[in-house]
Amino acid sequence: MKLKVLVIEDNKQNMYMITYLLESYSYEVIQSFNGIDGIQRAKEEKPDIILLDIQLPEMDGYAIASELMKHDELKNIPIIAVTSYAMMGDKEKAMKAGAIGYIEKPIDPDIFVSQMEAFLPPQLLQRSKD
Ligand code: MN
């Protein structure tokens, strides 16, 4: 069964690359370019995984993660932060907001999908192989 990944990312090139990589590994991708839309898509699509850019216009990734956590039907979806904002404490801040993991930009196409999969609960990964 294909796992559904909601990608919330405002940079078109990054979105293109992430989508290309995930689809190459048989994931289904839902694209969202901002937080308001991303939260809406999460409610509608019930993705298995959320890849969340931190630097976004208007609503940043921390605010989005915090908002997702308020919804019972969404709070158990694993959120992985993706950000180039290499400041100290950024990772901790993302985890505190609800992310289970953190991938640093620039995206490395050779390892991106395995970086993501390393954070996923084993039963979820198993489901993608069933
Ligand atoms: Mn961004």
Chain segment 84-104, per-residue pLDDT in tens: 756 667 788 888 999 999 999
**pTM given for the model:** 0.95
Distance (angstroms) between ligand 1 centre and the Cα of 33 equals: 9
Residue 75 confidence (pLDDT): 94
Helix 35-45 with 61-69: angle, nearest 10 deg: 30
Q: Do 5 and 22 meet the contact criterion of CB atoms below 8 Å apart?
A: yes
Q: How far is CA 39 from the centre of its chain?
A: 12
Residue 50 CA to ligand 1 center (angstroms) comes to 15
- Ion ligand 1 nearby residues (CB, 5 A): 10, 53, 55
Mean pLDDT score across all residues of the chain: 93
Count of CB atoms within 10 A of residue 113's CB?
15
Cβ contact 53:83 at 8 Å: yes
